[in-house]
Amino acid sequence: MDLTWSDDEEAFRAEARAWLQENLAAWRDRHDGRILSGDTAEGFAQHLDWERTLFDGGWAVVSWPEAHGGRAASRWEWLIFEEEYYRAGAPPRITQNGIFLLAPTVFEYGTAAQQDHILRRMARGDDLWCQGWSEPDAGSDLASLSSRARRDDERGGWVLDGQKTWTTRGAFCTHLFGLFRTDPDSERHRGLTYLLVPLDLDGITVRGFGRLDGDEGFAEVFLDGAFLPDDALPGGPVLGEVGAGWSVAMATTSSERGLTLRSPGRFTATADRLADLYRERGGRDPALRDRVVQAWMHAEAYRLQTLQTVTADADGHPAGARSSLVKLWWSELDVALHETALDILGPDAELDGPWTKGWQFALSGPIYAGTNEIQRNIAAERVLGLPRK
């Protein structure tokens, strides 16, 4: 593994840094410097303005082919862009569920017609995708889901019934991707189909609800006999093959747990800000100093491990089940970074300050994308080869 960036990669970094500096300042000026949470209706619209600025500048999906709105950057250049993005203090991507979770699966399983229609509209922010995984009785145990899709050949489509919940930003999105049971006699991970569903169909009700931090970023999606026609999307609404949705979904969960959703730039930038906070507010407490150092080193180790993962992937060794280890790493690192910051701030930690807000979000990391308890089981059985208990 060569850790030296080439001249071309350094030039790419300089271009990204300059563009972010100029355009972030302009975006903030357009909104009078008042930047809202992307998990509120008003904030979502504000952040969508930023997403379209990224697309117009050619930076929304740097690693995608140019035909789909990208600039055909290498995986290494994508990591460089992510480092610069978070170093610049750019906002979280409200399109992340589409760009970082669904899109890799569309590239792998989608037909040419599906790719041509979905990807560019996704990158431009025309269609906004949310994930329909969790249900009231099926969260981390995804195979126990009960939402159904019944084939209606006479009308040419699918009839959807059921309920999805904990749908991140679902109240603000236009489309949902999710798993549905299409074989009523099947059990567990068999007989499932991966469907792409416009949320404006008759029979679909989307109801947002608040989170612990007060933002209304979650939603419930109720499907009551909603008819999903075969021509709802060019290429059809089925991603992969009917009844083979589980294997398609596993590609999405690998992206969710792996590095595409949580690139190291996010954490190294936070670790740098934590070190700055300690220098400003930490005094001379040696215990706090050691925690800051440990957190910074863990963030840097995560970055190095990611470079190793990308190297292995380029050599034909995809992460597979080892993405569960990546998920454990970034989710627990995020909690440690923010808890250390709050301990430095002590009573000065404001209830709605950025570190408190970040800590509230970090607490959800060990739960979403499959709880860490489930990830430890996967790592034990599929990575270490230990027997099922």
Query: 209 near 216, Cβ under 8 Å?
Result: yes
Q: What SS3 state is found at 173?
A: coil
- Which run of H or of E encompasses 51? helix 41-57
d(CA 356, CA 263): 22
Helix (H, G, I), strand (E, B) or coil at 206: strand
Widest Cα–Cα separation across the chain = 74
Nearest-angstrom CA–CA distance, 99 and 68: 12
Short-list 359, 334, 362, CA closest to 345: 359
SS3 (DSSP) at 111: coil
Q: If you ran DSSP here, which 8-state letter would residue 285 be given?
A: -
* Candidates 22, 256, 339, 373; catalytic one: 256
**Cβ within 8 Å of residue 294, ≥6 positions away:** 336
Nearby residues of 361 by Cβ (< 8 Å), 6 or more positions away: 213
CA angle 70, 75, 77 (to 5 degrees): 75
Residue entry with tokens 């190297």:
311
Which parts of the chain are beta strand (E)?
129-132, 148-152, 157-164, 175-181, 192-198, 204-209, 218-229
| Size (the chain), residues | 389
Q: Are strands 175-181 and 129-132 parallel, antiparallel or unpaired?
A: parallel
Rounded to whole angstroms, how far apart are CA atoms 204 and 227?
A: 9
Report the alpha-carbon distance of residue 370 to residue 366 in Å, rounded. Answer: 8
Q: Using an 8 Å Cβ cutoff, are 60 and 93 in contact?
A: no
Question: Can 187 be counted among the known catalytic residues?
Answer: no
The structure tokens listed for 139 are: 């969260």
Catalytic residues: 256
